[in-house]
């Protein structure tokens, strides 16, 4: 390679190293972009009603802050009261499940029960994991001290992007060669549409799962219905794994009352998800995110390794944006137009 090629390679290497070092800041900026994207659609709706953009921004941000304050004011206090009791009851229900399985196995084959671990052995095997989590509690506490500053920075970035998004968009487009800028603008438009579909889908899923879970658990007279319903709604934000995790607490608590209730809870939650996927979502959301379940799971693991816990939670919007860029650049512009000489 000549001098200019070596210089370009060195600059590229340094740029990639810098991007890797500031990856958490870039993820925070991406989070602000996602929030601003969602609020921008609400602002445009107000503009279509004849309201000036500045007032639409103030109304949209005010609605968001009012919703968050109302949530913490009305929902969080009873949730925090019930959650400690939930933490105590779930292990008891899991222990009851282990005992029931051991009794069932002993009726089938009495000798097989000797090969199964008892509750004490399972507790001893889980103890190192519990100690490790407890040992990291102090570091987690210190890390959470930076959360208010991160939230303030996130709010500031969101307002800046929302107030005047065009310069940021045009500045990003100008990073590409002139002949490719129109294509990049089209890609950004597609990303905007995909993120809008994801945001509507996930908000609708969280609300419906929380409401239906709360009503169902009240009808079944399962204790701590509010805490479990709110937990199920929050876990719905996590694709694939969230649905599975949300079922564990009500099943464990139902086992403490009677085994048949736990079976009804399983059937109830399966029915909720099936009704929502096949009936409610198609009626409310006409454009959903089209990603294969295996791709979503792999993206969760990939972004967890790169960005940590926040990357795991934001894996789906990151995968949505990555899918658009991958499809439009690698597939459409390179692979589809690659002809052998």
Domain-located, residue 13: no
Tell me, yes or no, whether 16 lies in a domain.
no
How far apart (Å, rounded) are the C-alpha atoms in residues 175 and 171?
Answer: 7
For residue 73, what is the DSSP state? I
Give the contacts of 40 (CB within 8 A, at least 6 positions apart). Answer: 162, 165
pLDDT at 199: 84
Cβ atoms of residues 222 and 228 within 8 Å: yes
Instruction: Please name which of 294, 293, 298 lies closest in space to residue 312, comparing C-alpha atoms.
Output: 298
Element (H, E) at 254: helix 241-257
261 in a structural domain: yes
- Is residue 316 classed as helix, strand or coil in its secondary structure? helix
Q: Within a domain: residue 202?
A: yes
pTM for the model stands at: 0.72
Contact 306, 165 (CB under 8 A): no
- Residue 291 vs residues 158, 261, 283, 318: alpha-carbon distances, Å: 27, 35, 20, 12
Spatial separation of the C-alpha atoms in residues 238 and 300, rounded to whole Å: 9
Q: Is 69 part of a structural domain of the chain?
A: yes
In degrees, rounded to 5, the angle at the alpha carbon of residue 147 between the alpha carbons of residues 141 and 153 is: 160
Query: Torsion angle, CA of 318/319/324/330, rounded to 10 degrees?
Result: 110
**Measured between alpha carbons, how far is residue 141 from residues 129, 134, 135, 148 in Å?**
18, 11, 11, 13
Residue 56 tokens, joined: 């639409």
Asked if residue 8 is part of any domain, the answer here is no
pLDDT at 206: 84
Q: What pLDDT, on a 0 to 100 scale, did the predictor assign at position 186? A: 93
Is 136 a member of any domain? Answer: yes
Cβ count near 22 (within 10 Å): 12
User: What are the tokens at 153?
Assistant: 């920075």
202's torsion region: left (phi>0), alpha (psi -120 to 50) or beta? alpha
Q: Where are the alpha helices (DSSP H) in 109-240?
A: 119-135, 137-144, 147-163, 165-173, 181-220, 225-235
For residue 120, the tally of other CB atoms under 10 A from its CB is: 8
Range of the structural domain that residue 241 is part of? 23-140+147-335
Whole-number CA gyration radius for the chain: 25
Angle, vertex CA 60, rays to CA 58 and CA 66, nearest 5: 95
Residue 247: per-residue pLDDT: 83
For the stretch 170-182, pLDDT in tens is 998 998 888 888 9
Q: What is the reported pLDDT for 287? A: 54
Query: What does the pLDDT read at residue 138?
Result: 41
Residues of the chain with pLDDT under 70: 1, 71, 74-83, 85-90, 92-94, 96-149, 280-290, 339-341
The secondary structure of 184-199, three-state, reads: HHHHHHHHHHHHHHHH
Query: Residues 252, 90: contact at Cβ < 8 Å?
Result: yes
Number of domains in the chain: 1
| pLDDT given at position 112 | 53
């Amino acid at each position: 390679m000549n001098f200019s090629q070596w210089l370009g390679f060195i600059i590229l290497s340094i740029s990639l190293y810098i991007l890797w070092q500031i990856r958490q800041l870039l993820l925070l900026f991406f989070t602000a972009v996602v929030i601003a994207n969602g609020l921008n659609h609400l602002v445009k709706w107000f503009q279509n009603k004849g309201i000036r953009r500045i007032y639409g921004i103030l109304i949209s941000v005010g609605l968001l802050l009012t919703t968050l304050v109302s949530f913490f004011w009305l929902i969080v206090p009873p949730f925090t009261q019930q959650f400690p009791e939930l933490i105590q009851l779930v292990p008891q229900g899991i222990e009851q499940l282990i005992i029931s399985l051991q009794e069932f196995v002993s009726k089938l084959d009495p000798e097989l029960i000797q090969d199964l671990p008892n509750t004490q052995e399972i507790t001893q095997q889980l103890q190192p994991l519990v100690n490790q989590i407890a040992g990291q509690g102090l570091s987690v506490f210190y890390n959470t001290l930076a959360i208010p500053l991160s939230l303030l920075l996130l709010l500031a970035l969101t307002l800046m992007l929302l107030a005047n998004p065009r310069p940021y968009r045009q500045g990003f487009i100008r990073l590409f060669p002139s002949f490719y800028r129109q294509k990049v603008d089209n890609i950004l438009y597609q990303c905007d549409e995909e993120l809008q579909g994801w945001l509507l889908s996930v908000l609708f899923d969280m609300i419906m799962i929380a409401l239906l879970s709360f009503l169902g658990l009240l009808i079944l007279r399962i204790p701590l219905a509010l805490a479990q319903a709110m937990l199920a709604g929050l876990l719905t934000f996590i694709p694939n794994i969230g649905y599975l995790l949300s079922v564990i607490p009500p099943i464990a608590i139902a086992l403490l009352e009677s085994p048949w209730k736990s079976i009804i809870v399983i059937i109830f939650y399966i029915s909720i998800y099936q009704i929502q996927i096949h009936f409610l979502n198609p009626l409310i959301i006409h454009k959903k995110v089209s990603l294969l379940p295996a791709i979503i799971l792999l993206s969760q693991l990939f972004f967890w390794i790169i960005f940590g816990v926040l990357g795991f939670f934001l894996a789906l919007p990151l995968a949505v944006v990555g899918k658009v860029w991958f499809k439009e650049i690698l597939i459409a512009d390179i692979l589809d137009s690659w002809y052998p000489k």
